[in-house]
Amino acid sequence: MGFYIILIVVALLIGLSKGGMGAVLGVLVTPFLSLVMPVSAAISLALPLLMIGDVFALWFFWKTWDMHYIRLLLPMAIAGIIVGTYLLATLNNGTLRHILGLFTLLFVVYKIADTRLKSLDYHPREWHGYLAGAASGLGSALANAGSVPFTAYMLLQDVTPEVFVGTTTLFFAVVNVLKVPGFVVAKLLDLNGLLSVLWAVPLIPVGVYLGRWMIQRINKRAFEGFMLVVLVIASAVLLFL
């Protein structure tokens, strides 16, 4: 019963995050799944669900992205994906739980500091993009948590909020697709496991539309603050239990 409850929550979280309620919800997906299965299985199971959510997000933010940043960050992201997939396939579950906990905690730190990032006197360099791309690919493959370095980098760029969201959407949609071949080669994708969660797929668009409805009706900052507390608890569980 616990598995089914977690999966319902995860599908709705993916939809809500893709519907505009914030990346903080997407970061919760893997920690929640890891409560009922090994981390590598949780990351692999989350991937197709995230890809379905990407379809809806691309539809909402179609052509609002800036291809300059995609071309800059994606090549090194591929290198990060390769390294992350190798580590995911070879590290034991205890180590992966600690890594996932650290990534989750890192996201909390980033969210607390993101307003300060915007105020920095920043001078862009191309190698910053290479570093952010590599770290994003690594984090995405290893823990479905590549948003921290990518969004921190994009916050420092002179782009509109619409371009920011659109570029983030396209980048991670492509990254998720690029993770599939490596996951297949490393035998991380379990077809039977994927078939067993197909019933939850319709909940993703429900979450997307719910997110679009909620974004106009709740205090998003207060909501994200509450979810950050949940993330801290989740990271503590992963690190210490």
Give the chain as a DSSP string: -HHHHHHHHHHHHHHHIIIII-HHHHHTHHHHHTTTS-HHHHHHHHHHHHHHHHHHHHHHTTT-S-HHHHHHHHHHHHHHHHHHHHHHHHS-HHHHHHHHHHHHHHHHHHHHHHHHHHTS-----HHHHHHHHHHHHHHHHHHS--HHHHHHHHHTS---HHHHHHHHHHHHHHHHHHHHHHHHHTT---HHHHHHTGGGTTHHHHHHHHHHHHTTTS-HHHHHHHHHHHHHHHHHHHHH-
* Angle subtended at Cα 80 by Cα 66 and Cα 32, rounded to the nearest 5 degrees: 90
In terms of Cα–Cα distance, which of 58, 49, 65 is closest to 19?
58
Most confident of 23-27, 102-106, 122-126, 221-225: 102-106
Classify residue 119 by burial, with Cβ atoms within 10 Å: 0-12, 13-18, 19+: exposed
Q: Distance between the two ends of the chain, CA-based, in angstroms?
A: 21
For residues 144 and 47, is the Cβ–Cβ distance under 8 A? yes
- Domain carrying residue 196: 2-240
Span 87-146, pLDDT tens digits? 999 999 999 999 998 988 888 888 787 766 666 666 767 888 899 999 999 999 988 888
Span 167-218, pLDDT tens digits? 999 999 999 999 999 999 999 988 787 888 889 999 999 988 888 788 777 7
Give how many domains the chain has, as a whole number.
1
